[in-house]
Structure 1
Amino acid sequence: MLGTLRSITLLGCLLGSVGCHRQPPAPPPIPKGDYSAIIRYLQTRIVQDMAREHIPGLSIALVNGQELLWARGFGMADTAMGIAVTPNTAFRAGAISKLLTAGAALQLVEQRRLALDAPIQQTLREFHVRSRFHQDPHDADRDITLRRLLSHQSGLPSEHLRDLRTAFAMGQMPMRVSGVWLSAPPGTQVAYSNLGYTLVGAAIERSSGKDFETQLQQGLLTPLQMNHASFVGTAAQSSYRAVGYEDGVASADAQVRDLAAEGLWASPRDLSHYVQMLFAGGLYKGQRLLHSQSIDEMFRQQNTGNALDFDCQMGLAWFLAPCGDEPIVPGVRTFQHSGGGDAFAAQLSLLPDQQLAVIIMANDSNAEDLVARLSTDTLRLMFQAATGAPACSADCQPPSHGLKLRQVPTATDRKRLAGFYATAWGVLRIKDDNTRLAVEWAGDTFELVRDEEGWLRAQKKLLGWWPRDLGELGRVQLDVVTVLGRRMLTARSYGQRIAVGERIEAPPLPMAWANTVGTYQVLNTHEPNAPLSGISVRLEDGFLVIRGQLHSEPLTDYILLPVDNAHAVLAGSGYGLGDTVSRQINGLSASGYAFKRTDSPHPPLSFRQK
């Protein structure tokens, strides 16, 4: 909320550099069963990729059924100390942590200490929510279940930013966030939530009677012989942990509060054991850690019928579809999860029917695109070695529509599309600019035109004449559709449609909210590496627009929609959207923070009150 965001799906690449599809060296022919040819190719390619992208260190593991085909480290775990990456070097796994947390929760479900469809309040009795979607507040509490937390359908906010980089005990979090406002009706849409997984971690502690690290070590990490895996500490506390880097500078490696969501340290070799257990139906070296029914449930789509999720399929923790990103093999089931941020990047991708998997981890925040591309290409080569058939035909290639001459939308079309759209990446503004449909989004400007299939496409011209390649942003197809009475901006890529944003109409502004225009600073916080230092609110084209601030760096713009005189929400649905902002005496509150006005109150603005 109110910050910058790196997506877990297509849009992260779409809004990032135009180099998401840089062409690597062509792989050699891969005969059936010849995994050694893949390894030889990767040994050369990985070194070249890392040098080109200035990535200090990387580690990879390849799995075929119950066999670890290859595990290898490249580059440096610590450049200052001259420590090389080995197959046992542990990296921050980021959001991949959720896969282990889900496994631990399912173990307790099997032991009947937790229940997938019982209200989480039965375990975390001090936790309750507030809701603008329910008549009865008890119904809102009953709607927050373990299943919905694990599948990101709880309706809880995506984050609780206050004290995000501190070592608060997980067991304190249910009380600290109790009374939080729901951002969406539970069970209606997938909206990625680290806060939800923090509550799962607290439920694991409460139901097991052990702290999270002890329960995970005893239940999963030690039986799986994940010898360098842990959910606690920083790189400085263990010699086998890699140092993270941001633009070549060593990261401070802050504490992670939400351990269950993103606190895991592990090597790809460690994670390969977890994958082998899944492939064996819950067994690892003869020991049963999960029932096969639990694994089936983990890999079963949980969001069937959610119209706003379009073609994004969600299991328990796992993404079961590319969600607009490249398919590994068209028509072949692919499950995956990535982990980014905190100066590391990681991805775990598997083909469950072929029992093939690749795990890649790197110690640089700029390595996400490299890790994603390398994961995709490696798994395709493994599929070819396993089946003898090439993984890709034209279906695997980026859309080839290019930058051909296209049709400018008609005046009627421009009028229908022009407006403000709330997205997880900030406000998208579409303007009817005489004969053009101009767009401002995520710090870039471009034009929308209709392609030969009638879809909207992004186009930009240098000096008003020569087309500029916008990468994924120029290749993806866009359009506005009405779903459940909401006008949704959607993207289609590789035959899949995903939600991008929602068209928002300017509401009448209550006087109380019109007078919140101004600047605010965080009040009474001494946390290190705080994600926010302040916010500002301004009026733009009839909208209240709120922007986060991190010291001197302005963050992302969001539309603020008043609900009543005391509460407003960040417009739209999805990551960080729908969250509640409350008015306080001489300030605002959001995501656990209190913000104090730093400028003089503006004279009352003349707006029609509700």
Structure 2
Amino acid sequence: MGLKQASGRGIFRTQRLLDGGGLVAFLLLTTGLIWGLLSAPSQLAEPLPLPPLAKGEQRVLEQYASELIMDEMSRNTIVGLSAAIIAGDRIVWAKGFGYADREAKQPATPDTVYRVGSISKIPNAIAVLKFNADGKVDLDEPVKRYIPELVVKSRFAAAPPFTPRQLMTHHSGLPSDIVKGMWGEQPAPFQSVVSLLKDEYIAYPPGTIHSYCNLGAGLLGVMLERVSGAEYDAVMQETVLQPLGMENSSYYLRSHMEPKLSKGYNKKGQPDQEVSMRDIPAGNLYTSVNDLSNMMMLLLNDGVYKGEQLLPATLVSEMLTAQNNAVPLDGNFKIGYEFFLQNPAFSYVGDDFSHGGHMYLFHGQVMGVKKEKVAVVVLANSAGAAERVKLIAEQLLKGAIAVNAGLLPPTTKPGNNVAALLPDLPQAASYAGSYGTVIGLLEVQETHKGAYTAKLQGNKVELLPDKENWLRPQYRLFGILPLSHPKLQDMRIAFRTVNGEDVVFIRMGKEIAAVGKRIVNYNLPQAWRNRQGVYHTNDVENQLLGIDSLELKVNKQGILLMNLTTDTKAAQLGELVLYPVSDQEAVIYALGRRMMETIWIRQEKDGEKLIFSGVSFKKQQK
């Protein structure tokens, strides 16, 4: 049976990557979320409201589901979409909308095959758990036990090696990606990441913070091959896909699936080509909503599928249980094995689990509630679905909960009293100082005892204490008039000490995240001072970073800052702090995905090159 990857041409006209390597997309999202306060940032349009469903009103839910999806498709230029609702051990509704191939008039169906991006990580993790159940993999042994040649540099002498459990919860401390070579016409085999990692540093000590990592899924795939003695696709077919009856699913496109394969469409609704990827286990699964529904049944029913116990109930429970309760830098974010938990949209039910998958043209979402034994799958073939598949899935799941359990979402918006959700961490004697954050250099001054102002990207706000022991930012127009802004009203800031470092936490609504930490013992070597200037990358494949230029400059306080400019909108992003650790290496000083990763200098025949995530940048001459 033929196996191949989808290939693409003209793939570098725009940024393709959302699940992995999307440094610019990530920074834009973060910056817009927290500090887009003066430009009235756009809000996601509300989906069609859920009707007052009663228990057992399945037909009413199905009618609503169709109306919701058709409304979303028409408003967001979505050409094709398939969705399914699962209750217990069966699919109670599945339907396709629009076209899998509009030009050929081929309709989308529940068996249409889509690329599902990071949803690929879920079957990958299930395979690891099955090997664990068979005694072939220990989740708490070093991954190096299974991949002896694996070497990653570290600056944390006392840190333990990372484990399969930490790879499945994104707490390994590895860099998020190695962008160079990750995508292309003919990318290298995913097993090549093992040798590529020898030039990279661990960003965090394993177990200290959640940092989403595509490389981890690839290493799990290599581990599965080593333990089984078989190639990855064969392992996945035999261990997960075939036992679950996922006949239209594969990590490499199979010939019998090609007639069902959906085309991809860009934001204008025009057919376009996706790109092949290196990191197969992290994001290259081809599948359908019917097939993914089988996987969700396995999880809803404690590892039982069609009467057979395919995975021990204890491991299913672990997969859907928070593994990071003892990680203070995670704020109140919760993750099981790959699945994200405790979506605020389902706080009235609890026990929810979800994962999205995003590529340039294809977007998907799986979502379920274990206690009520209901789940949904939504897959789409259009770039316009990027921000909508999760909203559609949430609405369908709320409807399924109502119809199957008689529980409707609350009509009143819950309050934001989350004081107890921040770990009981000590406060610093003073918050004054400079902090590296995901949104740039944060400078905090104490204007008088207990009163602070903060400056970020030229915006200056007062930090006013509230009754929940957080700080509320207040902006003054022209430095005089207090200005009310919805984003600021919902935002709170806290400074706490974690593992001996002063950390900045941001709260938006009920969600809390660590975004940066105090800059201490900063010393800028002359070698880095001499590197001030604008850098460009000339490698075509490296345009996937979405960066037109990278600028290094030193501010008045003697701190080295890195400015990034996007290649599409010429938008300048935050001034990220670089913390030199030697004349040749510096880390991006903040907390979160892609932060604390190393930028290093390589000497080549045509001069010095700045290397980040495998991508080389050369300084432009004046």
TM over 0.5: yes
Rounded to whole Å, the distance in 1 between the matches of 2:460 and 2:411 is 31
One-letter amino acid matched to 1:315: G
Q: How has the CA–CA distance of structure 1 residues 146 and 305 changed in structure 2, closer, same or farther, with 3 Å as cutoff?
A: same
| 1:65/1:279 contact within 8 Å kept | yes
The aligned counterpart of 1:308 is 329
Rounded to whole Å, the distance in 2 between the matches of 1:462 and 1:288 is 63
Q: Helix, strand or coil: the match of 1:108? A: helix
Rounded to whole Å, the distance in 1 between the matches of 2:28 and 2:56 is 32
Cα offset for 1:246? 3.3
Q: Which of 264, 274, 292 lines up with 1:244 in the alignment?
A: 264
The aligned counterpart of 1:485 is 500
The aligned counterpart of 1:592 is 614
Cα offset for 1:283? 2.3
The aligned counterpart of 1:403 is none
Q: Which of 167, 188, 192 lines up with 1:168 in the alignment?
A: 188
Q: How has the CA–CA distance of structure 1 residues 571 and 14 changed in structure 2, closer, same or farther, with 3 Å as cutoff?
A: closer
Cα offset for 1:527? 3.8
Rounded to whole Å, the distance in 2 between the matches of 1:335 and 1:10 is 23
One-letter amino acid matched to 1:546: M
Rounded to whole Å, the distance in 1 between the matches of 2:276 and 2:584 is 34
The aligned counterpart of 1:180 is 200
Which has the higher mean CA deviation after the structures are superposed, 504-513 or 85-94? 504-513
| 2:32/2:41 contact within 8 Å kept | no
Q: Helix, strand or coil: the match of 2:276? A: coil
> Is 2:290 the partner of 1:269?
yes
Cα offset for 1:458? 6.1
Which has the higher mean CA deviation after the structures are superposed, 361-370 or 429-438? 429-438
Q: How has the CA–CA distance of structure 1 residues 132 and 433 changed in structure 2, closer, same or farther, with 3 Å as cutoff?
A: closer
Q: Helix, strand or coil: the match of 1:223? A: coil
Cα offset for 1:314? 1.8
Cα offset for 1:507? 2.1
Q: Which of 589, 595, 599 lines up with 1:577 in the alignment?
A: 595
> Is 2:146 the partner of 1:123?
yes
Q: Helix, strand or coil: the match of 2:388? A: helix
Q: Which of 377, 389, 398 lines up with 1:359 in the alignment?
A: 377
Q: How has the CA–CA distance of structure 1 residues 21 and 437 changed in structure 2, closer, same or farther, with 3 Å as cutoff?
A: farther
Q: Which of 244, 247, 250 lines up with 1:227 in the alignment?
A: 247
The aligned counterpart of 1:24 is 47
One-letter amino acid matched to 1:57: G
Rounded to whole Å, the distance in 2 between the matches of 1:306 and 1:582 is 29
Cα offset for 1:477? 3.2
Cα offset for 1:353? 0.9
Cα offset for 1:445? 6.0
Q: Helix, strand or coil: the match of 1:497? A: strand
The aligned counterpart of 1:69 is 92
CA deviation string 1:35-80 (max 9, x = no partner): 2211111211221122122222222111111021111112233344
Rounded to whole Å, the distance in 2 between the matches of 1:187 and 1:332 is 25
> Is 2:212 the partner of 1:189?
no
Rounded to whole Å, the distance in 1 between the matches of 2:361 and 2:578 is 31
Q: Which of 389, 397, 415 lines up with 1:379 in the alignment?
A: 397
Q: Which of 102, 110, 130 lines up with 2:125 in the alignment?
A: 102
> Is 2:319 the partner of 1:298?
yes
Q: Helix, strand or coil: the match of 2:340? A: coil
The aligned counterpart of 1:203 is 223
Q: Which of 440, 459, 475 lines up with 1:427 in the alignment?
A: 440
Q: Helix, strand or coil: the match of 2:183? A: coil
Cα offset for 1:534? 5.8
CA deviation string 1:134-172 (max 9, x = no partner): 15xxxx6x6121111111111111111110103211222
Q: How has the CA–CA distance of structure 1 residues 236 and 80 changed in structure 2, closer, same or farther, with 3 Å as cutoff?
A: farther
Q: Helix, strand or coil: the match of 2:74? A: helix
Rounded to whole Å, the distance in 1 between the matches of 2:177 and 2:443 is 28
Cα offset for 1:577? 0.6
Rounded to whole Å, the distance in 2 between the matches of 1:533 and 1:484 is 37
Rounded to whole Å, the distance in 2 between the matches of 1:156 and 1:383 is 38
| 1:171/1:205 contact within 8 Å kept | no
One-letter amino acid matched to 2:179: L
Rounded to whole Å, the distance in 1 between the matches of 2:529 and 2:228 is 49
| 2:465/2:472 contact within 8 Å kept | yes
The aligned counterpart of 2:77 is 54
| 2:88/2:297 contact within 8 Å kept | yes
Rounded to whole Å, the distance in 2 between the matches of 1:508 and 1:460 is 32
Q: Which of 203, 212, 218 lines up with 2:232 in the alignment?
A: 212
Rounded to whole Å, the distance in 1 between the matches of 2:258 and 2:543 is 22
The aligned counterpart of 1:145 is 163
The aligned counterpart of 1:604 is none
Rounded to whole Å, the distance in 2 between the matches of 1:188 and 1:171 is 26
The aligned counterpart of 2:577 is 559
Q: Which of 342, 345, 358 lines up with 2:360 in the alignment?
A: 342
Q: Helix, strand or coil: the match of 2:314? A: helix
| 2:610/2:618 contact within 8 Å kept | yes
One-letter amino acid matched to 1:194: N
| 1:219/1:289 contact within 8 Å kept | no
> Is 2:540 the partner of 1:517?
no
With structure 2 as the length reference, what TM-score do the two structures score? 0.82
The aligned counterpart of 1:40 is 63
Rounded to whole Å, the distance in 2 between the matches of 1:83 and 1:517 is 55
One-letter amino acid matched to 1:168: A
Cα offset for 1:332? 1.7
Cα offset for 1:370? 1.9
| 2:416/2:510 contact within 8 Å kept | no
| 2:141/2:164 contact within 8 Å kept | yes
Cα offset for 1:474? 5.0
Which has the higher mean CA deviation after the structures are superposed, 233-242 or 368-377? 233-242
Which has the higher mean CA deviation after the structures are superposed, 38-47 or 156-165? 38-47
Q: How has the CA–CA distance of structure 1 residues 291 and 476 changed in structure 2, closer, same or farther, with 3 Å as cutoff?
A: same
Cα offset for 1:459? 6.8
| 2:82/2:378 contact within 8 Å kept | yes
After TM superposition, list the pairs within 5 Å mapping 1:518-537 onto structure 2: 518-522=533-537, 525=539, 527=541, 530-531=544-545, 535-537=550-552
Q: How has the CA–CA distance of structure 1 residues 19 and 83 changed in structure 2, closer, same or farther, with 3 Å as cutoff?
A: farther
The aligned counterpart of 2:107 is 84
Q: Which of 531, 536, 560 lines up with 1:544 in the alignment?
A: 560
Q: Helix, strand or coil: the match of 1:129? A: coil
One-letter amino acid matched to 1:212: Y
The aligned counterpart of 2:425 is none
Identity of aligned residues (%): 26
Q: Helix, strand or coil: the match of 2:120? A: helix
Q: Which of 121, 125, 137 lines up with 1:114 in the alignment?
A: 137
Cα offset for 1:214? 1.9
After TM superposition, list the pairs within 5 Å mapping 1:387-466 onto structure 2: 387-394=405-412, 396=413, 416=431, 419-423=434-438, 426-427=439-440, 429=442, 440=456, 447=461, 450=464, 453=467, 455-457=470-472
After TM superposition, list the pairs within 5 Å mapping 1:307-326 onto structure 2: 307-322=328-343, 326=344
Q: Helix, strand or coil: the match of 2:139? A: coil
| 1:74/1:86 contact within 8 Å kept | yes
Structure 1 residues without counterparts, runs of 5 or longer? 401-412, 601-610
Rounded to whole Å, the distance in 1 between the matches of 2:251 and 2:365 is 18
Which has the higher mean CA deviation after the structures are superposed, 453-462 or 118-127? 453-462
Rounded to whole Å, the distance in 2 between the matches of 1:296 and 1:9 is 32
